[in-house]
Copies of this chain bind each other. A is one copy, B any other.
């Protein structure tokens, strides 16, 4: 129990975008409640942003202004630096490094920074006895970091992951509900503000991969080498896949999943078919879900908002309250900071069951040719779906959907490569993993 103290915790906030302004609003709106819970006042004393005159809907009166964020690290009246600039390099990284070196506590919402530089930052945090907290970096409105780092601290985690990107989940949900194709739904999502003008960080899986690497590092007690995480996005998912998945009793979700398998750490972000009655299949729209499974605790799923001003500001401020209370934890949840990162094993070392969508010539013998390749590669078929073809002289190919039993990833990659060379197969095969447990 931290000793009650009357001196406020003094904050310097770098970055006054949606989240930065949100934190200032939240601290003002819930001032009494936050002071009661923190045991002392949380007071913003300094800020830094690019544009001094922009209207952000919050008053900056009486706050010291810095044009260069890094100057916050040198301000002797700032106890905690709140980094909300974003980006794995540049001013965000420089500020966090400088603040830790100066012995200041840091709170950040920067998932790329923690995913890419978390090993070195943990060292600096430990060496300077300067806490580094980052609850807002993973699924803003879901206290996922706290749950893994503290709630499940007694348990050996078997796996961690979930629906970690709201933009992808929104797009896949709307595609399923409307039957529209990816490009159309993406364009609509951009108009509605659910997707960025440059959407690639989200839809190519990078944002989810940053979050997964952080969760896996916490779950397994060591920072994960980000470049070893396998990353796929959702650009190749067609409206037809959502329709076929439904006919087979599945939904399609972009999942980040990490587990400690026989070959070591498996960590990947991929679209997956999940059974339509599984809890994670019910998590729709911009919502996120984090699933953790412990050897003793069993499975846990937390569902909530993953982004947005309110949820992210709540996560940042919860970290600030922990610091005010004197309750902080080493960056990767274990006392001894290590630079030895954990590398995920290659995807080909794993196993899985797969959905395979092909476009094939509509003539006798084709199915036999394809299933022979799978058999030769040691891939066992569980079911097949061939929609009644709409005969069309100008499009003589028809869809063929194959579902495999559990098989080795390497065998499946081999089989798909061979099938892709068959002359009866048009287009690149679409392969989607099936996650049933």
Residues of A participating in the B interface, judged by any CB pair closer than 8 Å: 1, 4, 22, 26, 29-30, 33-34, 36-39, 126, 129, 131, 135, 140-143, 146-147, 150-156, 221, 277, 279, 282-283, 294-305, 308, 310-311, 313-315, 317-318, 320-322, 325-330, 333-336
Within the complex, which residue of B146, B282, B313, B326 is in contact with A151, where a contact is CB–CB below 8 Å? Answer: B146
Q: Are B300 and A142 in contact (CB under 8 A)?
A: yes
Shortest distance between the CB of A136 and any CB in chain B (Å) = 11
CA distance A343 to B150 in the complex (A): 32
A304 / chain B contacts, CB cutoff of 8 Å: 297-301
Q: Are B37 and A141 in contact (CB under 8 A)?
A: no
Shortest distance between the CB of A147 and any CB in chain B (Å) = 5
Within the complex, which residue of B33, B146, B298, B327 is in contact with A311, where a contact is CB–CB below 8 Å? Answer: B298
Q: Are B279 and A152 in contact (CB under 8 A)?
A: no
This chain: copies in complex: 2
Interface centre among A150, A301, A315, A317 (most CB of B within 10 A): A150
A297 / chain B contacts, CB cutoff of 8 Å: 140-141, 304-305, 310-311, 314-315
A334 / chain B contacts, CB cutoff of 8 Å: 36-37
- For A319, the closest partner residue in chain B by CB is B154
A313 / chain B contacts, CB cutoff of 8 Å: 154, 296
Within the complex, which residue of B126, B154, B321 is in contact with A150, where a contact is CB–CB below 8 Å? Answer: B321
Q: Are A221 and B314 in contact (CB under 8 A)?
A: no
Closest 4 CB pairs of A and B: A143-B151, A154-B317, A296-B310, A327-B327
Shortest distance between the CB of A319 and any CB in chain B (Å) = 9
